[in-house]
Amino acid sequence: MKARWTEGNRARLLENGEEFFPTVFAAIRAARFEVILESFIVFDDKVGRQLQAALLHAARRGVQVDMMVDGFGSGDLPAAFVAPLTSSGVRLRSFDPSSRVFGLRMNVLRRMHRKIVVIDRERAFVGGINYAADHLQDFGPLAKHDYAVELEGPIVEEIHSFARSVVREEAAREGQRQRHDVAVQQPRAAGDVQALLVTRDNHEHENDIERHYRAAIRTARSRVLIANAYFFPGYRLLREIQRAARRGVDVRLVLQGTPDMPIAKSAASWLYEHLLRDGVKIHEYLKRPMHCKVAVVDDDWSTVGSSNLDPLSLALNLEANVVLRSAAFATQLRGRLEELIATECVEVATTPGTGLGWWQQLRSLVVFHFLRKFAVWASWLPRHTPRLHAHAPPDGLPADEERLHGAGAATESPHGR
């Protein structure tokens, strides 16, 4: 699917689970004929059970529900969670699951990391928020900070076409009969936002998200503000960030200061000296773990989605971002990020004249060469045709053939790329 810009959209920024979960759950409950949901993580906790209840409410009213979760991120969903969904007609699949080896999940690479919801071809949600209680502030010090965007207008048809093409492809592979799509009118203009769905896979769109980041930063005139949880970008993206700062663009990065995985901060910090030396300002978010994958460039370009700026997201995982052209949305997102910088971040200070010791220089050289070649090296890592496990209704209950065709799939090539 080739990405294309659409005009006439409305975009609403949603911050953290407190804004996202009530909005998306209400939309699912109000669905009239179709819900498509993809998520890296669904946990059997209070948030996961609220999602389950909303999906059951829709499915039991006859709404067609396709749900896909990742076999690594959601590998521990119990039968007690899955059975009510499948027995109610929800077509649930796990992307490339595997059994544990000595208690460890080994299927770490090439994950389905997208977070997408499409409802009735009229509303869509794209972002980085998983269905887990750790996206709520009452989870405590380890609660994650993140964003999603609610969309209406013609962009929803683009997102729906992407999600449904995946479902159709899997159904055709399994030889299952397709249910005809419900005829609906073309989405009407809902606002003044230009929007573009950008995805990453291991077949036709291997670097699309990174390419859009690079293009926006390369043409930046005044400012670049990136908030990203796992920052270890490819060499070309890193170079564009440095070049923008050197030509006088105000480049600011908001990165993790209190990471959920310490290696995330360690990897990013290896790049600090080079970035600071070129004039990039780095702010570490300290209140709690940061899970954001957002950016604002100049006065009207922004992106929200699932893609981190690290090797997993940029070279291995299946990802989805939306890119938006809207001064109002960019101003809102920048305002939220600048508030974080002012109240919950600390700026990483430069130390003029200190330079790098021999060990830092050696480490930096290794890191930079890794970044320069990691996309090539990533292609050498194990790859295979991903397996999509369909969760059948419990106890051999008969299933309606129309309801159980190809539930949710992914955009991996049938040739294993």
Q: Which of 70, 113, 134, 145 is catalytic?
A: 113
Tens-place pLDDT, residues 75-112? 989 999 999 999 999 999 999 998 777 667 666 778 99
**Lowest-confidence region among 103-112, 130-139, 220-229, 346-355:** 346-355
Q: Which pLDDT belongs to residue 269? A: 81
3-state secondary structure of 226: strand
Whole-model pTM over 0.85: yes
115 counts as catalytic: yes
Provide the angle, in degrees to the nearest 10, between the axes of the packed helices 235-246 and 208-218: 10
CA 202, CA 383: separation in Å to the nearest integer?
A: 9
Q: Which pLDDT belongs to residue 411? A: 43
**Superfamily name with CATH number, domain 7-191+384-396:** Endonuclease Chain A (3.30.870.10)
Q: Which of 66, 70, 115, 144 is catalytic?
A: 115
**Residues paired with residue 294 on neighbouring β-strands, in sequence order:** 227, 304
192 counts as catalytic: no
Asked if residue 138 has pLDDT above 50, the reply is yes
Mean pLDDT score, 398-412: 38
Tens-place pLDDT, residues 172-195? 555 555 555 655 666 788 899 999
Query: Which of 160 and 363 is assigned the larger pLDDT?
Result: 160
Q: Which of 120, 192, 250, 260 is catalytic?
A: 120
298 counts as catalytic: yes
Mean pLDDT score, 189-207: 94
Mean pLDDT score, 66-79: 94
Average pLDDT over the chain, rounded to an integer:
86
Q: Which of 293, 310, 391, 405 is catalytic?
A: 293
113 counts as catalytic: yes
- Residue range 199-378, CATH number: 3.30.870.10
Helices (H), 251-357: 262-269, 272-277, 311-315, 327-344
CATH 3.30.870.10 range(s) for the chain read: 7-191+384-396, 199-378
291 counts as catalytic: yes
Q: Which pLDDT belongs to residue 342? A: 97
- At residue 399 the predicted structure's pLDDT band, cuts being 50, 70 and 90, is very low
Q: Which pLDDT belongs to residue 100? A: 72
- At residue 417 the predicted structure's pLDDT band, cuts being 50, 70 and 90, is very low
400 counts as catalytic: no
Say which amino acid occupies 51.
Answer: L
Whole-angstrom CA distances from 237 to 40, 330, 344 are 25, 21, 27
Tens-place pLDDT, residues 353-391? 455 566 666 666 676 666 656 666 666 766 777 888 889
% residues pLDDT > 90 (the chain): 65
Q: Half-sphere exposure (CA, 13 Å, Cβ side) for 184?
A: 17
Q: Which pLDDT belongs to residue 188? A: 80
Q: Which pLDDT belongs to residue 382? A: 67
- The 10 Å Cβ neighbour count of residue 108 is 12
What is the DSSP secondary structure assignment for residue 239, as one 8-state letter? H
% residues pLDDT > 70 (the chain): 80
